[in-house]
Structure 1
Amino acid sequence: MNPYEQKLGIKLWAEADRPREKLLLNGRRHLTDAELIAILIGSGSRDETAVDLSKRILASCDNDLDLLGKVSVQDLSKFRGIGEAKAISIVAALELGRRRKEGESKKAVKIAASKDAFDALYPVFADLNHEEFWILMLNRANIIIGKHLISKGGLAGTVADPKVIFKTALEHNSAYVILAHNHPSGNLKPSHEDINLTKRLVEAGKILDLNVLDHLIFANRLYFSFGDEGLI
C-alpha cells in the first residue's frame, strides 16, 4: 500500500482538522455530528481515526441522531474500537441531550390541542424500545401540573392499572388527565385492548369528576389521538 494512502491518526492531522482543536478554534456549531462523537470517543484504532469510526456508527443509524439515541451500550460495543467505556460515554451524552430537550418544556404549558400534549410527552417516549404508559395531569386551566410513569412493559405491551392512574392524579390535585402510551412496533392503530381500556378509564373518570381528555399513542415521531378521532 502506498504510505500516502494510509490514514493518519488525529494527533498527526492539521490542527484545524482535529475535533477538539476545531471546537476551541471555531466553536461547537462548526463541528459535524461525527466530529462531536469523535470527541466523546477520544481515539480510534490503528486502522481508523475516531472521526471515521464515528461516521461508521452514524451510518449504521442512517445518520439519524434520534435512532442513535436508541442504541444500547452492548450494540455500540460491537463496533471495533468501541469498548464499554466509550459506548457508555456516547449513550450518556445522548441522554443528556434528551433530558435537556425535556427540561425546556418545564415552564407552564397549556394544553389546547392534542399536538400540545404530544410535544409535552414526546421526550419521554422518544428513544424507547419497550412500551410505557404515562399520564399527563392538568389543572382546571388546562395547565400541565405533572406527568407520571404508570407502568413499564416489554415490546408487546404494558399493564395500566386504573387504580394507580386515578390515585396518582388525585394525589396531584388534577382536574383533567391525558393518557399516553407508545407502540415500539411503529404501528399507530389502537388495539382492542387500547380501546376498551380507554372507555373504562373515561367512565371511571366521570364518576370521580376527573375527566380523561385524551389518550395518545406514540409511534416514533407520529401519534394517534383518541380525542381527535372522536373515540372519547
Structure 2
Amino acid sequence: MELPDQLPELSPAYPAPATGIKSWAEDDRPREKLMSKGRATLSDAELLAILIGSGTTRLTAVDVGKLMLQGVGNDLNALARESVKQLCRHPGIGPAKAITVVAALELGRRRKEADAPARATITCSRDIYNLMRPHLLDLPHEEFWVILLNRANVVMRKTAISRGGVAGTVADPKMIFKEALEQLASSIILVHNHPSGNRNPSGADIQLTKKLKEAGGFLDLPILDHLIFAEQGYYSFADEGIL
C-alpha cells in the first residue's frame, strides 16, 4: 500500500500527543506555579487544570482547560452555567472531573453572593476588650491570644496560641510570630485572661511582653498592646505606658 505524499494534519482540537506536565519546568507547572508565585499568576486554563488533575494521551490538563474555555467563548460565567452532562462533552472531561469543576464554580458563586463580614478596627484598648469578650468571658482557665492587624489597624485574624490552667499558660514566641508572618500582618496585639479577676500583670507577664516587643522590633512586627482580660475590666500595657 502506498502512503500519501503528505499526511493530514491533526485537528486543532486534538493536538499531537502532549508532553506531560511533569516534564515542564517546575515554575510552569500549575500547582508549583501557584505555590511559588501565587494564585493570581495562573491563567483560567491553568486553574482549571488543577481541578481537572490530568489530561489525556494527546492533551495535557492545561490543554483540556483551554478547550473547555474555548467551548464557551472563554466566558467563565457561561462555563459555570453548564451542567455535568454538558461539561462531559468537552474533550478529556468525564463525570468525575465535571463534578469537580461544577463544585468549584458553585463555591465561587456562593462566595460572590455572600456578604463580606465587616472587620473590626482597633482604635483603643476598649475595642480590644470588646472584641475578645465572646472568647474569654467566664473562662475557668487562662488562654493566650494574638490579634493580627493590617496597616490600617483592621483585624485580620484573632488566634488562640495556648490554653493552660487556672494559674497560667505558656505563650511560645515562635508560634506567635509564625502566625503573624504567615498572614503578612503589620502589627500584633497580645491578649490573655486572668480567671482570678486580678487585672494586674505578673512579673512573668511583664517579662514576656518585653521579650516579644524586642523580637517584634527585629521582625518589623510591632506589638501595639498587651491586654490582660478580666471579667470586671482589663489592664492595658499601652495605656499604662509600660509597653
TM-score (norm 2): 0.51
Residue pairs, 1:77-96, within 5 angstroms: none
* Gap runs ≥5 in structure 2: 1-116
User: Following the alignment from structure 1 to structure 2, what is the Cα–Cα distance between the partners of residues 164 and 108?
Assistant: 24
Runs of 4+ in 1 over 6 A off after TM superposition: none
For residue 130 of structure 1, give the secondary structure of its aligned residue in structure 2.
coil
Equivalent-residue separation in structure 2 for 1:149 and 1:160 (angstroms): 10
RMSD: 0.8
Q: CA deviation at 1:207?
A: 0.2
> In structure 2, which of residues 114, 121, 134 is the aligned counterpart of residue 110 of structure 1?
121
CA distance in 1, matches of 2:196, 2:188: 25
Instruction: Give yes or no for the alignment of 1:123 onto 2:134.
Output: yes
Partner of 1:142: 153
Question: Per-residue displacement from partner, 1:10-29 (whole Å, max 9, x unpaired)?
Answer: xxxxxxxxxxxxxxxxxxxx
Deviation at 1:127, TM superposition (A): 2.2
Give unpaired runs (5+ residues) of structure 1.
Answer: 1-105
Question: Equivalent residue of 1:107, what SS?
Answer: coil
On the 8 A contact 2:149/2:155 being kept in 1, the answer is yes
Give the aligned partner of residue 171 of structure 2. 160
Within the alignment, does 1:222 sit opposite 2:233 as a pair? yes
| 1:137-167 CA-partner distances (Å, limit 9, x unpaired) | 1000100000000000000000000000000
1:206 to 210, 213, 217: 217
Structure label with greater radius of gyration? 2
Counterpart CA distance in 2 for 1:120 and 1:220 is: 14
> In 1, distance between residues paired with 2:145 and 2:129?
12
Give the percent of matched residue pairs that are identical in Structure 1 and Structure 2: 56
CA distance in 1, matches of 2:143, 2:236: 17
The offset of 1:173, in angstroms, is 1.0
- Alignment of 1:193 with 2:216, yes or no, is no
Give CA deviations for 1:198-221 in whole Å, capped at 9, x if unaligned: 000001000000000000001113
Aligned residues: 127
Matched, 1:169 2:212: no
Distance in 2 of aligned mates of 1:121 and 1:203: 25
Q: Is the partner of 2:210 in helix, strand or coil?
A: helix
Q: TM-score, normalised by structure 1?
A: 0.54
1-structure distance, mates of 2:142, 2:119: 27
The one-letter code matched in structure 2 to 1:205 is: G
Amino acid at match of 1:211: P
Q: Output one character per residue of 1:112-144: Cα deviation in whole Å (capped at 9) or x when no partner.
A: 111111111111101210000000110001000
